[in-house]
Amino acid sequence: MIVRKISIVVSAFFTMAAFSQETASTLESKPEVKVTYLDSIKSTFKKNELASKVDSLWMNELVSLDIYEDLTKDIQTINKDVTVDEELPTELLKQRLAAMNEKSPFEIEYNQGLENIIKSFLKNRKKSFSRLMALSEYYFPIFEEAFAKQNVPLEIKYLAVVESALNPKAVSRMGATGLWQFMYGTGKQYALKIDSYIDERSDPLKATAACSEYMTKMFNIFGDWELVLASYNSGPGNVTKAIRRSGGKTKYWDIRNYLPKETQGYVPAFLATMYLFEYHKEHGINPERAVVKNFETDTVAIKNQMSFKQIADLLDMPQSQIQLLNPSYKMGVVPFYQGEQHFIRLPKDKIATFVSNEPQIYAYVKYDSEMKSTSSRLAVKYAPKAKPASVKPTTIENNNSDFEFYKVRKGDNLGAIASKYNCTTAELKKWNNLKTNSVAIGRNLKIKTEEETPVKSAPIIDKREEAIASADEKSKGGAVDMDYVVVAGDNLGSIAKKFGTTIAELKELNNLTSNNIGLGKTIIISKAAIIIEEPASASTAIASNSVDSFKKKAVSKSVSEDYYVKKGDSLYSISKKYPGVTISDIKKWNGIKDEDIKPGMKLKING
């Protein structure tokens, strides 16, 4: 019996020893998660627990131009003389219009043309108006506050629906921009700033104040709000001509037939919009949910230039939300001009985090900007100057091997898809030859998997490494051309400044005879720029899990590397960290069939 007990004790001892060794082995093999400079900065943030979650689908509705294009086409082509078959008794409509007229300074009276337009909207645009009513919960309080200050009728808020479908980034074929569709000259006339970085025609507050001022001036001239609306659409000169041609009549309905054709349908479209907002419940139009309202946001003054990308990384919020709340910044950058104040609008909980941690935020922005600047200088410095005679603009090849395909599902729109793949709607339209923002369910869209950036493959190296890097280390990589795709607001001067070159050199490289460059054009910044490989001793501050601004390492497909998935990562965003690596590569190397990845998951790169 004693021997048996001793045997049990010895067996238990060895079992425990084996378990301890296994546990120790497991602990030793646990991968060390490298902490980036961004993560270390954010770990010091004072936390604010006021979490106002933003619905991503609603965010995409806000930045989508689908409604604007559809509604604009309707208003321009709608025929007020064509009867529309839609359930709405004429007598009931007359009663409702009379009720609206009693409490409005507008002359709202029934006529067959107005009935036809209301029925046309009910038949074809119910879903659009449901979405517009969600948008109105954010924008209408801004409009009402501005109009109340100038004693302008609050109903004019519905004009922004007709003008821009409540999209501050809307741009007409003639160049009219913003919620109130100001032309360049009119915007300047009303002191709206327009330059390479800023277009205040897209600023909801400032553009609405300018609109309010315009309306007040026009009412002082015409004394009739319908004529004010007509002048807003066609100009006061055309309204004055129509008054003369009508024999001196001064009511819109009396001079309507003497106005330009589009303006003849413009005021009825405004009144039809007012009617649908007023009686949407009676027609079964249910407003979609608006998660963010204007009073849930606030502004903070910016002390140094910073990009939307930097703000998004620091505050853990999507760039699309920052773009929505700050549509007047054209380049995805909040600039800093000496002697001027610029503000960023954010949800209140993010404002609290920003204000509580300003020193750390500006420290990170400075560091990140210096790293990017170092990369650009190095790429240009080692780019041999090409001879003019042999230079031709480089074209980007769109081979199918460079694309992933996405099948459009019910409820999708270009804004949502672009957000999913971290690209823009303009890029989606370009890659798929789309003329409008409408896309059919079931269609396969091409999504470019390799990032096009001004410096195509040049990694960022730590400034401390730059000082001691030898010429041999700098010339290890291959030679590539460095291209840049022109975006809105660009000119040769701003591009030359951005890349440390001159206008003359850009013109010489691209065979340009003038300073004019087209939007979307690919221009050569330099020829045969040297790819600089990151030295093996690079700081852990630029480890593989670093942010986009300093994570582009030159990696050979023959070398294996592990990547640990972080919160917010997708296969697309991970593939963009490694030049030449596609989503398909990552799936193949890791045996992934779909795109479902989770934080903490280990992925093999370049297996």
pLDDT digits (tens, 9 = 90+) for 255-308: 988 998 888 888 989 999 999 999 999 999 888 766 566 667 889 999 999 999
Average pLDDT value for residue range 550-567: 57
The pLDDT value recorded for residue 125 is 84
DSSP class of residue 201?
G
The pLDDT value recorded for residue 481 is 47
Do 400-448 and 555-607 fold alike per CATH? yes
Find the angle CA(330)-CA(333)-CA(335) to the nearest 5 degrees.
Answer: 100
Look at residues 414, 432, 429, 442 and name the one whose alpha carbon lies nearest to residue 67. 414
- How distant is the alpha carbon of residue 169 from its chain centre? 9
Give me 601's structure tokens. Answer: 């998951």
Look at residues 142, 148, 150 and name the one whose alpha carbon lies nearest to residue 220. 150
**Contact between 61 and 134 (Cβ < 8 Å):** yes
Grade residue 135 by pLDDT with cuts at 50, 70 and 90: confident
DSSP class of residue 11?
H
Q: Which residues are CB-contacts of 497 (< 8 A; sequence separation ≥ 6)? A: none
pLDDT digits (tens, 9 = 90+) for 16-45: 444 444 444 444 444 444 557 777 777 777
- pLDDT > 70? residue 129: yes
CA of 474: how far to CAs of 170, 186, 531, in Å? 46, 52, 8
- pLDDT > 50? residue 538: no
The pLDDT value recorded for residue 527 is 53
**Contact between 216 and 210 (Cβ < 8 Å):** no
Burial 186-205 (b: 16+ CB within 10 A, else e): bbeebebbbeebbbbbbbbb
SS3 602: strand
CA of 172: how far to CAs of 125, 127, 185, 518, 574, in Å? 20, 23, 15, 18, 37
- pLDDT > 80? residue 163: yes
Give me 559's structure tokens. Answer: 């070398």
pLDDT digits (tens, 9 = 90+) for 164-216: 989 888 888 888 899 999 999 999 999 999 988 999 999 999 999 999 999 99
For residues 451 and 456, give the distance between their C-alpha atoms in angstroms, rounded to a whole number. Answer: 8
For residues 381 and 411, give the distance between their C-alpha atoms in angstroms, rounded to a whole number. Answer: 48
Average pLDDT value for residue range 44-50: 58
The pLDDT value recorded for residue 230 is 93
The pLDDT value recorded for residue 301 is 92
Element (H, E) at 525: strand 522-530
Domain 400-448 indexed as CATH 2.160.10.10: no
- Residue 557 corresponds to which amino acid? K
The pLDDT value recorded for residue 138 is 85
- pLDDT > 60? residue 50: no
Q: Which residues are CB-contacts of 536 (< 8 A; sequence separation ≥ 6)? A: none
**Contact between 315 and 281 (Cβ < 8 Å):** no
As separate numbers, helices (DSSP H) first and strands (DSSP E) second, the chain gives 26, 10
pLDDT digits (tens, 9 = 90+) for 72-122: 766 666 666 677 677 889 999 999 999 999 999 998 989 888 888 898 888
Mean pLDDT of the chain: 74
Name the architecture of domain 56-283: Orthogonal Bundle (1.10)
Q: Which residues are CB-contacts of 416 (< 8 A; sequence separation ≥ 6)? A: 56, 57, 60, 64
The pLDDT value recorded for residue 219 is 93
User: What count of residues does the chain have?
Assistant: 607
Q: Which residues are CB-contacts of 35 (< 8 A; sequence separation ≥ 6)? A: 43, 540
pLDDT digits (tens, 9 = 90+) for 58-68: 444 455 556 67
For residues 105 and 233, give the distance between their C-alpha atoms in angstroms, rounded to a whole number. Answer: 19
Grade residue 334 by pLDDT with cuts at 50, 70 and 90: very high
pTM of the model: 0.56
The pLDDT value recorded for residue 471 is 31
- Domain range list for the chain: 42-46+297-356, 56-283, 400-448, 555-607
pLDDT digits (tens, 9 = 90+) for 452-497: 333 333 333 333 233 323 333 333 333 344 667 777 777 887 787 7
Percent of the chain at pLDDT > 70 equals 69
The pLDDT value recorded for residue 574 is 81
Q: Locate the DSSP E strands across 412-489.
A: 444-448, 479-485
Q: Which residues are CB-contacts of 597 (< 8 A; sequence separation ≥ 6)? A: 565, 569, 570, 571, 603
Find the angle CA(49)-CA(314)-CA(202) to the nearest 5 degrees.
Answer: 100
- pLDDT > 50? residue 338: yes
Percent of the chain at pLDDT > 90 equals 25
Identify the CATH number of the domain defined by range 555-607.
3.10.350.10
pLDDT digits (tens, 9 = 90+) for 235-246: 899 999 999 999
SS3 3: helix
The pLDDT value recorded for residue 201 is 94
Hey, CA dihedral for 370, 375, 381, 386, is it positive or negative? negative
Grade residue 10 by pLDDT with cuts at 50, 70 and 90: very low
Give me 270's structure tokens. Answer: 């405004």
Find the angle CA(369)-CA(554)-CA(386) to the nearest 5 degrees.
Answer: 80
Q: 123-127, 307-311, 354-358, 380-384: which range is least confident on average?
A: 380-384
Select the highest-mean-pLDDT range: 51-60, 320-329, 545-554.
Answer: 320-329
